Amino acid sequence: MPTEQALTGSNRADPRARIVQAILLSVTIAAVNEIQAALLALLIAPAFSLALRVRIRDVLPGLAAANLFIAFLWLAIPFSVPGPVLFKLGFLSASIPGVHLALLITLKANAIMILFLALVCPLPISEITAALAALHVPDKLLNLLAFTFRFIFVLEEERGKLLRAAKNRGFRPKTNLHTYKTYAYIIGMVLIKSWERAEKVQQAMICRGFSGRYPSTREHALKRADVMFSLATIIAAGGIVLLELKGT
Amino acid sequence: MNMPSPLVNLEKICFSYTPERGVLHDLSLTVHPGCKTGIIGDNGAGKTTLLHIIMGLKMPTGGKVELFDKTMRGEKDFQSQRTRIGFVFQDAEDQLFCPTVLEDISFGPLNLGLSRDESLERARAVLKRLDLEDLGDRLIHKLSGGQKKLVSLATVLAMHPEMLILDEPTSGLDRTYRERLIQTLQEIDLPHLIVSHDFDFLDRTSREFFLLQDGRLQPGSASLLHSHRHIHPLGEISHEHGDCL
């Protein structure tokens, strides 16, 4: 998660460069079909973490969550792709292409996760929006991103309040219509409150002279290190593509 | 005596949400330079509506709004004048929408056309003035309620307004921050219009008082405010009247 202390010391690569690199590499990796190429990607990704001095404890929770999801894929994919049988589990048989596919997904997903956790996640949200603005992402999308980040906690609080209010009056979730109705009411109230909040926020913005464009307080300049870093990324992407082409 | 032209002048303002139920009836109000005005009223008396009409966030169904000696005829007129008034919303959560404190405070100055550096400089200066320097890089959703209130005051002060309007500024504030807000308002010394039902707060920050009742403003005085019977929770514990009721 972005923290206020992020981006200190050597962890100061240009946010625009970081975002472009993360996108370039992850698109390359996502397109790969060869195990060797995916393996190379998984080796390259931690190198970025090292270069950017990302702490392991900032990476592990994200990776664990992603791999929990991938574990479910392993329960299904090896047994559902047709092909020569690798091993049998009771009446289920795992195919070679199935295991190959599951392995490929695992390698690729982990490589991309590690890259994003190193390149993009340490950036504070304000840096990300500023960098995206510098990359000419439309204002509307940026506003959506910034407002989501700012108000998601407020909405969560709002939901918590309503749920606590319901519990206060003896509400205990069960599998019945009363429970579903109560949840529907709570979701409905959160929506209504969001709408009202949005209205007030807009009024407050208008009072401070807002006229549609979201001004940003940051300016960026590419430094030598950023150029070198970007070159390294291009070489890494090239290496992955090369292995991929050799395999086919 | 030659009075300087008023900052805000409302003449016979009417407002209603539904035809049957009017909120404001022929309400008139003038805020002169140097005026520190407090308005008291019950819940639903139309206090917030009145403030929104001054800021042009709601259009009155009748009457005339003048800001800085100009008659406001529509959104365009308000656009050029409302940035001269610093409006602090009742709920700071509505006012602060940027990820970090400095960004939020520099939002107004940027809208006024200042450069990035000038805006940030103003933001820092305001934080310093309010003794909040250490908050600059903090994420807003992690601030306490009291801090958010002071920061939302900072966001309008950074626009160098000619007057302040505060809507229920003490709601939800604890003693410490309430006291800090009073001190700050006394120090800032800008003309203001404050709507509240915190009698003591108004008494310590304002010099002119009105009661909003039945859609109209009735003049009152500080002594009148205090002739009200009021109940102190924990009344047996000795207290001063500046304390939170």
What are the pLDDT digits (tens) for B49-70? Answer: 999 999 998 999 999 999 999 9
- CA A55-A60-A65 angle, to 5 degrees, is 150
The answer to whether A133 and A145 have CB atoms below 8 angstroms apart is: no
Distance CA B40, CA A5 (A): 44
Asked if A126's CB is within 8 angstroms of B98's CB, the reply is: yes
Q: How many angstroms away from the CA of A31 is the closest CA of chain B? A: 35
Instruction: Please give the residue of chain B at the shortest CA–CA distance from A143.
Output: B98
pLDDT at B244: 42
pLDDT at A6 over 80: no
Q: pLDDT band at B239, cuts 50/70/90?
A: low
Asked if B55's CB is within 8 angstroms of A209's CB, the reply is: no
Residue B157 CA, chain-centre distance (Å), reads 12
Distance CA B42, CA B213 (A): 8
The answer to whether B163 and B7 have CB atoms below 8 angstroms apart is: yes
Distance CA B38, CA B50 (A): 13
Beta strands B216-220 and B208-213, pairing class: antiparallel
Percent of chain A with pLDDT over 70: 91
Distance CA B90, CA B167 (A): 5
Q: What is the largest distance, in Å, between two alpha-carbon atoms of chain B?
A: 56
Higher-pLDDT residue of B22 and B201 is: B201
- Testing the interface with B: which of A152, A208, A220 to mutate, by most B Cβ within 10 A? A208
Count Cβ atoms within 10 A of the Cβ of residue B68 and give its class: 0-12 exposed, 13-18 middle, 19 or more buried.
middle
Asked if A209's CB is within 8 angstroms of B99's CB, the reply is: no
> A167-201 pLDDT, tens per residue?
877 788 888 888 898 888 888 888 888 888 888 88
Mean pLDDT of B225-233: 52
> A49-76 pLDDT, tens per residue?
888 888 888 888 889 999 999 999 999 8
Place of tokens 């924990």: B234
Q: pLDDT band at A105, cuts 50/70/90?
A: very high
ipTM for the predicted complex comes to: 0.74
Distance CA B175, CA B178 (A): 5
Buried b (16+ CB within 10 A) or exposed e, B170-196: beebeeebbbbbbebbeeeeebbbbbb
Residue type, A211: S
Percent of chain B with pLDDT over 70: 89
Q: pLDDT band at A9, cuts 50/70/90?
A: very low
So where are chain B's domains?
A: 8-217
pLDDT at B19: 80
Of B94, B100, B111, the CB nearest to A126: B100
Q: What is the pTM of this model?
A: 0.71
Helix (H) or strand (E) holding B48: helix B47-55
Written in H, E and C, the secondary structure of chain A is CCCCCCCCCCCCCCHHHHHHHHHHHHHHHHHCCCHHHHHHHHHHHHHHHHHCCCCHHHHHHHHHHHHHHHHHHHHHHHHHCCCCEEEEECCEEEEHHHHHHHHHHHHHHHHHHHHHHHHCCCCCHHHHHHHHHHCCCCHHHHHHHHHHHHHHHHHHHHHHHHHHHHHHCCCCCCCCHHHHHHHHHHHHHHHHHHHHHHHHHHHHHHHCCCCCCCCCCCCCCCCHHHHHHHHHHHHHHHHHHHHHHHHC
Distance CA B43, CA B90 (A): 13
End-to-end CA distance of chain B: 40
Higher-pLDDT residue of A28 and A150 is: A28
Instruction: Please give the residue of chain B at the shortest CA–CA distance from A2.
Output: B139
Considering the four listed CATH numbers 3.40.50.300, 3.40.50.620, 3.30.450.20, 2.60.120.580, the one that applies to the domain covering B8-217 is 3.40.50.300
pLDDT at B111: 85
Q: How many angstroms away from the CA of A192 is the closest CA of chain B? A: 15
Q: pLDDT band at A146, cuts 50/70/90?
A: confident
Asked if A200's CB is within 8 angstroms of B89's CB, the reply is: yes
What does the DSSP 8-state code read for residue B30?
E
Q: What's the token pair of residue A136?
A: 């000419």
Q: What's the token pair of residue A196?
A: 């009202």
Q: pLDDT band at B168, cuts 50/70/90?
A: very high
Instruction: Please give the residue of chain B at the shortest CA–CA distance from A152.
Output: B141
Of A129, A204, A209, the CB nearest to B95: A204
On average, the pLDDT of chain A sits at 84
Q: What sign has the CA pseudo-torsion A210, A214, A215, A216?
A: positive
The answer to whether B167 and B88 have CB atoms below 8 angstroms apart is: yes
